[in-house]
Structure 1
Amino acid sequence: MKHPFFRILFGALLLFFSLGGVAWAQEESSSEDTIETGVEAESEENESRHVLSILLAHDHVQRGVKDGIRSWITLPSFMMAYNYEITERFAVGLAGDIIIEQFELEIGEGESARITERSYPIALVATATYRLFNHLGVLAGGGFEYAKEDTFGLIRMGFEPFLKISPHVDLLLNLSYDIKINAYDNWNLGFGVAVKL
């Protein structure tokens, strides 16, 4: 593991899952020890359903071009999302991210392949998230990626494991895959926080 990003990622995953075990054990013991009253049920109903997430991420592009040679490239990005929780397990929202670098990539196959540049592309995606388990959400959505050179439609699918550190704050990972229609694909790995407003 020569690259520092992978060391940080490994450390974050280790911390995430070790703290997750503690949080799961606390949730199970507290749910067994408490009896829900009318006051507790009322406070749950009044709880905010608006969630704002901010993440630092890396986009991984297989069809990148460096010095005229096709190679796998990793690009830093910021991600931000707003979600509205319709139910305890289902939310809809809007996600946006920006790659904070200019890069070149190859689009097309064979003789029709061409190299194009992307300048700080911004993606905007409408998403739906479903919590499979207490600490894992699955998301899917669609939108577009805009850069001054061209705009592509996109489809996003992914997973968001999260760890509740307070009633209003979660730590979360985002692992998602973007299909840029008639262009290129990339996958994203992000780490950040989600706050109930």
Structure 2
Amino acid sequence: MKNLARCSLLVFLCLFGLNLSAQEETELEAEHERHEEHRHKNVISLGIGHAHINSGVENGEKQWLVLPSWMLDYNFWFTEKWAIGLHSDMIIETFEVEDEHSSESVIERENPIALVGALSFQPIEWLSLVAGGGVEYEANESFGLFRLGVEPHWEIHEKWEIFVNIGHDIKFDAYNTWNLSLGIGRGF
């Protein structure tokens, strides 16, 4: 009789545990669906920051330049973790950089604009990793570029988020740029 009572208790506890486990899974699925409904497919972001250039030239001497910049990005989230977008940056000053092919000459850049096709991956809810390629346009000469970036972001309202963008542009046959920006994005 004791064995029957123990077996009954064991079966009851197992079934109760399975029920709790199923309930937890249902709650997690519902939370995931709420997050998916809340997630906006389209996000436009505007940021202000600084471009850091280690091969700048000022008064004929090599200098580390820190120049003001603006960024405007569009992302389309086609899954919960992946987005494709068009990212743009503009350095709002005229500056000179060392010519990579000749240490005696410089390249003058006047308000260059970078346009980048980017792929974003979100490994965790508040962080995006960005990679892409594009072109930095300028009146005298344009350069191809490859971009890598990290973008932590925090939701401040149902449709709004703030973010920090840390990016590295590797320009082909030219100078490289580190970008640090702070911005706001709106989903729709």
TM-score normalised to the size of structure 1?
Answer: 0.76
Q: Sequence identity of aligned pairs in percent?
A: 39
Question: Which residue of structure 2 aligns with residue 55 of structure 1?
Answer: 47
Post-superposition shift, 1:167? 2.0
Match of residue 180, structure 1, among 156, 171, 179: 171
- Cα separation, 2, equivalents of 1:174 and 1:112: 32
- Cα separation, 1, equivalents of 2:33 and 2:123: 23
- Cα separation, 2, equivalents of 1:42 and 1:74: 42
Question: Which residue of structure 1 aligns with residue 10 of structure 2?
Answer: none
Post-superposition shift, 1:158? 0.7
Tell me which structure has the larger Cα radius of gyration.
2
- Cα separation, 1, equivalents of 2:168 and 2:27: 42
Structure 1 residues 43 and 183: alpha-carbon distance in aligned structure 2, compared to 1, 3 A threshold: closer
Runs of 4+, deviation exceeding 6 Å: none
Q: How does 1:26-65 map to 2 (within 5 A)?
A: 35=27, 41=33, 44-45=36-37, 48-65=40-57
Q: Which runs of 5+ in 1 are unaligned?
A: 1-31
The amino acid across from 2:167 in the alignment is S
Render the CA deviation track for 1:11-37: whole Å, top value 9, x for unaligned: xxxxxxxxxxxxxxxxxxxxx9x9479
User: Could you say what the CA RMSD is over the residues aligned between the two structures, in angstroms?
Assistant: 2.4
Question: Which residue of structure 2 aligns with residue 68 of structure 1?
Answer: 60
Q: Which runs of 5+ in 2 are unaligned?
A: 1-23
Aligned pair 1:164/2:174, yes or no?
no
Aligned pair 1:86/2:78, yes or no?
yes
Contact 2:118 2:131 in 1 (8 A): yes
Aligned pair 1:106/2:87, yes or no?
no
Contact 2:36 2:80 in 1 (8 A): no
Post-superposition shift, 1:134? 1.4
TM-score normalised to the size of structure 2?
Answer: 0.80
